[in-house]
Amino acid sequence: MPFLEIEFPLEARDAEAVEAALLAAGAASISFFDRGDEPILEPRPGEVRLWSDTLVRALFDGTSDTDAWLCRLSALLGPELTESATLRHIADRAWEREWLRDWKALRFGPRLWVCPTSAAAPADPNAIVVRLDPGLAFGTGTHPTTALCLEALAKLELHGKSVLDFGCGSGILAIAALKLGAAHACCADIDPQALTATRQNAHANDVAARLETLDAQQPLPTAGCVLANILAGPLIEAHERLAAACTSGGDLLLSGILVAQQETVLAAYRASFDIVGVAQREDWCCVHGRRRPYGGGC
């Protein structure tokens, strides 16, 4: 279906009123974007936070009566809105296939690959392949925070170990760990959709029998390798639970930490972990820690 896109700055308007007006005028989709450079990194579950300079973009059926819905929008939101708006025709495309153009196989370390389900297997006969498509939850390997964890995971000795993936999203880290030789993985998240996506991806990768999912608020099992890519704030909040979950001498990978937040996160984890290394990609870093023996002091 062809679309007509309307774009305008939100300015002082109320976002919910704008959304309601666009829907009443027949918009098929509405998105809000940052017009500046103001990342929103740690919204609370269910919290919708917008930027101080927000751009609104809505799509209308390209065959609909443009004058009629523009007139309706002007009536609902004021005539100055349509004066500051830009319109753009968007030709019909196979939208459900569009993401495939940018979604390519990615390699982490010498052998670990994350490949779209439709892509050919890598030529390397020793490749370890996680099959995954973008879906219900975060985690395809394209984001620096996930990429840092996958690169670190590829270097760990995981054979026979149990893994806790705290903030599992798509389950990408746990699935990669299982394919790299881990015996069992427990995947925890506060978002039920993430747990569903993780189970689906585990099935698609033939590791479902070795993976279980858990509401992250439930007591955590112990594991020899603990992974958590969830941003600095929740990482600091969870430090005692993750320290209790990691077995003595076990590995800890923490990601989702902006370089500027690294010291605060390290300060919380140094009480229980020796810091083995910190890797950085773009503005993000990933901490590798090793659990100090219980009762071994600081």
**Token couple for 5:** 């896109």
Size of the site for ligand SAM (CB under 6 A): 22
3-state secondary structure (DSSP) of residue 19: helix
| Among positions 138, 269, 273, 284, the unique one binding ligand SAM when judged by CB under 6 A | 138
Q: Is 229 in the site for ligand SAM (CB under 6 A)?
A: yes
Q: Is 216 in the site for ligand SAM (CB under 6 A)?
A: yes
Residue of minimal CB distance from ligand SAM? 169
Q: Is 234 in the site for ligand SAM (CB under 6 A)?
A: yes
Beta-bridge mates of residue 4: 60, 89
> Is 291 exposed, middle or buried (CB count within 10 Å of its CB: 0-12, 13-18, 19+)?
buried
| Among positions 151, 152, 169, 179, the unique one binding ligand SAM when judged by CB under 6 A | 169
Q: Please name the amino acid found at residue 176.
A: A
Residue 147 CA to its chain's centroid (Å): 11
In our burial notation (b when 16+ CB lie closer than 10 A, e otherwise), range 43-68 reads eeeeeeeebeebebbbbbebeeeeee
The region of 28-36, 101-109, 154-162, 188-196 touching ligand SAM under the rule CB under 6 A is: 188-196
Binding mask 50-89 for ligand SAM (x = CB under 6 A): ----------------------------------------
Q: How far is the CB of 13 from ligand SAM (least distance, A)?
A: 30
Instruction: Report DSSP letters for 99-158, one per residue.
Output: GGGT---EEETTTEEEE-TTSPPPS-TT-EEEE--S-SSS-SS-SHHHHHHHHHHHHS--
The region of 26-34, 131-139, 176-184, 269-277 touching ligand SAM under the rule CB under 6 A is: 131-139
Q: How far is the CB of 293 from ligand SAM (least distance, A)?
A: 26
Residue 118 CA to its chain's centroid (Å): 21
Other Cβ atoms less than 10 A from the Cβ of 134: the count is 15
Q: Is 256 in the site for ligand SAM (CB under 6 A)?
A: yes
Q: How far is the CB of 42 from ligand SAM (least distance, A)?
A: 9
Q: How far is the CB of 104 from ligand SAM (least distance, A)?
A: 17
**Is the dihedral angle over the CA atoms 174, 175, 177, 181 positive or is it negative?**
positive
Q: Is 137 in the site for ligand SAM (CB under 6 A)?
A: yes
Pick 77 or 232: Cβ nearer ligand SAM = 232
Q: List interacting residues with ligand SAM (CB under 6 A).
A: 137-139, 145-146, 149, 166-169, 172-173, 188-191, 194, 216, 229-230, 234, 256
